[in-house]
Every structure is written in C-alpha cells, then in structure tokens.
Amino acid sequence: MRERGRAGAFRESVTGADVELAYAGFDRFLKGEERAFDDVDDVDAAVVGVPYDGAVSNRPGARYGPAAIREASGWWAYISDYKGGLTNMQTGKNVDFGNLEVADCGDVPVFPMDHETTAESITAHVAALAAQTFPVLLGGDHYCTFPSVRGFAEGRGYDSVGFVQIDAHTDTVSESPVFGTEFHGSSTAQIADTPYVDYENVSQVGIRGYESPDFFEFADETGLNLYTMREVEDRGIGDVVSDAVEAAADGTDAVYVSFDIDAVDPSVAPGTGTPIPGGLSAQQALETMEVLGAHDAVSGADLMEVSPRYDSTEGTQRLAAYLLVTLLERAFAE
C-alpha cells in the first residue's frame, strides 16, 4: 500500500507524468481504455482485433496485424495527449482528440484450424460492440470481414447495409477449386449472400490486377459499383470515394467500410499477403478515409491484411494506424 501511495503521489506532483510515450505502456489502439465487450456504450468507438490468417491464398502473416497496428497507433495517441488540440496539416482543420473516446476490447477468440467457429466468434463479438457504439476491427485476413459485416448488421438490428471496400481485389469468387468457398477471396461474395447486403449497395475502390474473363459482365448484371484504379487516376480519389459511399448508402440503414491495405501500392505498404503494383498512394489512401469519415452513414469499419513481417521499415502498420486515426478523427474529433 505504501508503494502504491508513493507512486500516485509522484504522478500527481510531477508535470508530464501522466503523458504516456508512444513506445511505453501496454499496446492498445490509440492507447484507449481497456474495456469488456459489454461495456462500451459510453465511447465513440470500440476496437477489436482478429489475429487470424487461416483463409489466405498467398503469403500468411496477417495474424500479426492487430498487434502491429495497435503499437503503431501509439504515436498519434502520444502527440494528441502531449500537444492537446492539433491542426491537421492534411485537411487544414483543427482537431480535438479530447472529443474522441476510444476503447480497446482486445482480441476475439480465434480457432486457427476452424474457420467456421472463428467466423461465429467474430460475428458475436462485433455484434456486441455494434449494439453499443462504432465498431472497428483490426485484421486479420479479409475473410474476417464477412462475419464482421454480419455481426454489424445483427448487432444494430439493420435490415440493409451498404458496403464500401477499398481493395486491390474484388473478393467476389464464390468458389475456388483450390480454396473452396471460405477464403479471403470470397468475402465479398459471402457478404452479398447475406440478407443484409446487395451488390447494388457494394462499392469497390482501387481494384486492379486481374479478375475472371467475364467480370465486367458480372458487375453489370449484379449492379456492383466498381471503381478501378484507372478511374481513380482519371477522376481523382476524392470524387470517386464520394460517389462510392453515396452508392453504398443509397436506401440502406448504414454503411460499413473495409480497407484492405493491399489497396495501397506495395512500394508504400509492402507488408501484406497479396501485393499488387499500381495501387493507391499514401496521400490517396488518407484522402479516402477523410471522405469516408465525414459521411454520416459510415457506422463501422475494419482495416485488414496487414502482415508486418514483410515490411522491415514498419511503414505498413504505421500507415494502417494513420488511416484509422484519420477516419475516426473526421467522424468524432473535428
């Protein structure tokens, strides 16, 4: 008791003792308060990690993404705490992170050899958060987005959800002869197969690389809102994302955003399992989150496919954290 009292007295008497350095303390997203899943109804957003990559088709390692993103987010927690009110030099806006309250609920239970039970776990935990606040999922491979969207809809009691996917790939493969029906290339197909999401309210931004020979016909037939990287370059990222979120929001109860880090060019974000050249710049990725965070319909989000062991510079997880900070800042702190 004597030592605890002495420590408390020191913290109270020494200026700056309450500032937690970026690299100090326990790793929590934005150094938010640790909370139980049923105790987040008084915060703006609640973060949960899914350290699972059992559904990848290329390089594994996204299981380490949640921890890496949390650690990287410490920098923004530090400067916001240390400096108080800030001016965002990207947007020119004043930001008060004191208005943003984020809780970190830790990781959901995952079952590395059982994707179905893992999916049930994700759905249950995201539903618990969504019933109370804005859920933020740290992945994990992109398969995890399917049960997360399902949990988001069920937790909120929504009939219809719009889905904005920032990605290099469409993930619309309904079945693969190698990977079956449950892998990270099938997540959007499974999302569109739920009662909550129709392809007419699915918007995909940054698509590039290769899809099936008849993919454009598929997009036309289903009503999928497709915005390739060529269109991004021709029109500008701001206009494209504005159109994408409006299409997803049209006639739906809310919009869920999924950002696959491989949407960003691998020269900028190499730490991912399926890198494709020709992607978004860091500036375009940040502007994407600015637009999405400012839209009233956006009510849940995830950041997927960060595989930190492929990036010795740690730049990929740093950008991933910055993207989520940007989204939450626009939504709650301006």
Q: Which of 327, 329, 304 is nearest to 316 (CA)?
A: 304
Which residues lie below 8 Å from residue 269, measured CB to CB, with a gap of 6+?
261, 262, 279, 282, 311, 315, 316, 319, 320
Task: Determine whether the annotation assigns residue 81 to a binding site.
Answer: no
pLDDT digits (tens, 9 = 90+) for 193-252: 999 999 999 999 999 988 888 999 989 999 999 999 999 999 999 999 999 999 999 999
Give the CA angle between residues 329, 252, 171 to the nearest 5°: 75
DSSP element (H, E) containing 225: strand 225-228
The DSSP code for 32 is P
Task: Determine whether the annotation assigns residue 125 to a binding site.
Answer: no
What superfamily would CATH give domain 33-333?
Ureohydrolase domain (3.40.800.10)
Out of 10-19, 108-117, 266-275, least confident range: 10-19
pLDDT digits (tens, 9 = 90+) for 283-302: 999 999 999 999 999 999 99
Look at residue 40 in the predicted model and tell me its pLDDT: 96
pLDDT at 72 over 90: yes
Structure tokens that stand for 135 in this block: 């859920």
- The domain locations on the chain are 33-333
pLDDT at 83 over 60: no
Look up the pTM and report it: 0.91
Which residues lie below 8 Å from residue 194, measured CB to CB, with a gap of 6+?
149, 150, 153
Look at residue 12 in the predicted model and tell me its pLDDT: 81
pLDDT digits (tens, 9 = 90+) for 155-204: 999 999 999 999 999 988 765 565 556 755 678 999 999 999 999 999 99
* DSSP secondary structure string for all residues of 107-172: E----TT-HHHHHHHHHHHHHHHHTTSEEEEEES-GGGHHHHHHHHHHHHT-S-EEEEEE-SS---
pLDDT at 7 over 70: no
Of how many residues is the chain composed? 334
pLDDT at 148 over 80: yes
pLDDT digits (tens, 9 = 90+) for 31-51: 899 999 899 999 999 999 999
Q: Which of 140, 285, 146 is nearest to 202 (CA)?
A: 146
Radius of gyration, CA atoms only, the chain: 19
CB neighbourhood size of 248 (10 A): 29
Look at residue 80 in the predicted model and tell me its pLDDT: 74
What's the rounded Cα separation, in Å, for the pair 326 and 287? 9
What's the rounded Cα separation, in Å, for the pair 303 and 140? 8
**Residue 182, burial from CB neighbour count under 10 angstroms (0-12, 13-18, 19+):** middle
Task: Determine whether the annotation assigns residue 142 to a binding site.
Answer: yes
Q: Among residues of the chain, what percentage have pLDDT more than 90?
A: 69
Mean per-residue pLDDT over the chain, rounded: 89
Look at residue 78 in the predicted model and tell me its pLDDT: 80
Look at residue 17 in the predicted model and tell me its pLDDT: 61
